[in-house]
Amino acid sequence: MSKKAGISEIYVTKFSGERQLFSRQKVVRTCRRMHASQDAADTVADKIESRLYDGITTKEILKLIFRFLKEHKPEVAFQLDLRESIALLRPKPDFEQFIALVLEAEGYEVERNLIIPGKCTEHEVDCIARRGRDIVYVEVKHHYRHHTFSGLGTFLEAWASFDDIREGYTSSRNSYGLNKLIVACNTKISDHAKEYAKCKGFGFLAWRAPRIGSLEQLVEEHRLYPVTFLKGIDTRTAARLGDMGIVLLKQLAEQDVNRLARQLRMPKKKIHEIVARAEKVLKT
């Protein structure tokens, strides 16, 4: 099919290989999530529509969004796709800390990296979050491949640990009176996993789920962009920052440049540039 074919007939190829009809509204939503004005989002969508061809990949569309949007928002040139940048965090300790900071922004008090005895065995617990009367067991799952789905197995394991810890509390083997469970991950969730969570009555924090209060919504609301969101920070530098407890652009922007240059063993000029870019992204 040629580029001149009607837009309604253009199919897009997803990462999984699945094909679906092109949606202009998805392009507009992506731009708006990147804090573009409605006019800018519509202009970008117009330009992308003029370059469509049948079978174009979602990855290529995302590249075009960044290319055209930086004409309206220059700071976009400094950043990666949010979903990809979260996947670039190390599972431990960076992503676990990232989730803890998201929960703290939502008003929770968080404990991390615990060993809690259940009725049958001890459990390595990523995170316990408290808010009001809620004492929440948080199972954290990270995928480097951000198009991977978090599946039923993860949810089954989380429920088994949660249930055993609760029984351990009843038999006085621990002091954690858990009453809620949340599975937190950086990817979408499979339908089977969602069905299981609904049946058992526990929650999840994931990409595009739940419909209100999903991971990307909370990140945008509280401006909790990971350091990997910023171009110019390679995986080695991100790991060094993570070892220092710095996983957010907010934290990076608050650092003393001289101290940071010494600890990262990088030129002060480069650190100034990175911090300045972080501040620009956070201010928009």
129/110 Cα distance (integer angstroms): 4
Is residue 204 domain-shared with residue 228, that is, in the same domain? no
Task: Give the mean pLDDT of 242-263.
Answer: 94
Q: What is the CATH number of the domain that holds 200?
A: 3.40.1350.10
Percent of the chain with pLDDT over 70: 97
For residue 5, the model assigns a pLDDT of 47
Residue 53 phi/psi, 5-degree rounding, is -145, 155
Question: pLDDT tier at 75 (50, 70, 90 boundaries)?
Answer: confident
Is there a domain that residue 126 lies in?
A: yes
Predicted confidence (pLDDT) per residue in 86-134, tens digit: 999 999 999 999 999 999 999 999 999 999 999 999 999 999 999 999 9
End-to-end CA distance of the chain: 39
Is residue 189 domain-shared with residue 155, that is, in the same domain? yes
Chosen domain end from 50, 76, 102:
76
Is residue 158 domain-shared with residue 252, that is, in the same domain? no
Predicted confidence (pLDDT) per residue in 187-198, tens digit: 999 999 999 999
Which position has the higher pLDDT, 236 or 2? 236
| Domains in the chain, number | 3
Q: Which amino acid is at 33?
A: R
Q: Output the pTM of the full model.
A: 0.82
Is residue 142 domain-shared with residue 38, that is, in the same domain? no
108/136 Cα distance (integer angstroms): 9
Q: Is there a contact between 126 and 112 (Cβ–Cβ < 8 Å)?
A: yes
Is there a domain that residue 270 lies in?
A: yes
Which position has the higher pLDDT, 2 or 266? 266
For residue 147, the model assigns a pLDDT of 87
Which position has the higher pLDDT, 181 or 59? 181
Is there a domain that residue 81 lies in?
A: no
Chosen domain end from 16, 41, 76:
76
Q: What is the CATH number of the domain that holds 258?
A: 1.10.150
For residue 83, the model assigns a pLDDT of 92
For residue 3, the model assigns a pLDDT of 42
Is residue 115 domain-shared with residue 19, that is, in the same domain? no
Predicted confidence (pLDDT) per residue in 145-159, tens digit: 988 999 999 999 999
Residue 211 phi/psi, 5-degree rounding, is -60, -40
For residue 6, the model assigns a pLDDT of 58
Is residue 144 domain-shared with residue 178, that is, in the same domain? yes
Read off the tokens for 110.
Answer: 């968080």
Closest Cα partner for 66 from 48, 49, 50, 52?
Answer: 48
Is there a domain that residue 86 lies in?
A: no
Residue 139, pLDDT > 90, answer yes
Is there a domain that residue 48 lies in?
A: yes
CB-based contacts of 141, cutoff 8 Å, min separation 6: 150, 154, 183, 184, 185, 186
Percent of the chain with pLDDT over 90: 80
Is there a domain that residue 1 lies in?
A: no
Is there a domain that residue 83 lies in?
A: no
Domain that holds residue 110: 91-215
137/111 Cα distance (integer angstroms): 10
Mean pLDDT, all residues of the chain: 92
Q: Is there a contact between 151 and 127 (Cβ–Cβ < 8 Å)?
A: no
Task: Give the mean pLDDT of 242-261.
Answer: 95
Question: pLDDT tier at 8 (50, 70, 90 boundaries)?
Answer: low
Is residue 55 domain-shared with residue 157, that is, in the same domain? no
Predicted confidence (pLDDT) per residue in 39-56, tens digit: 999 999 999 999 999 999
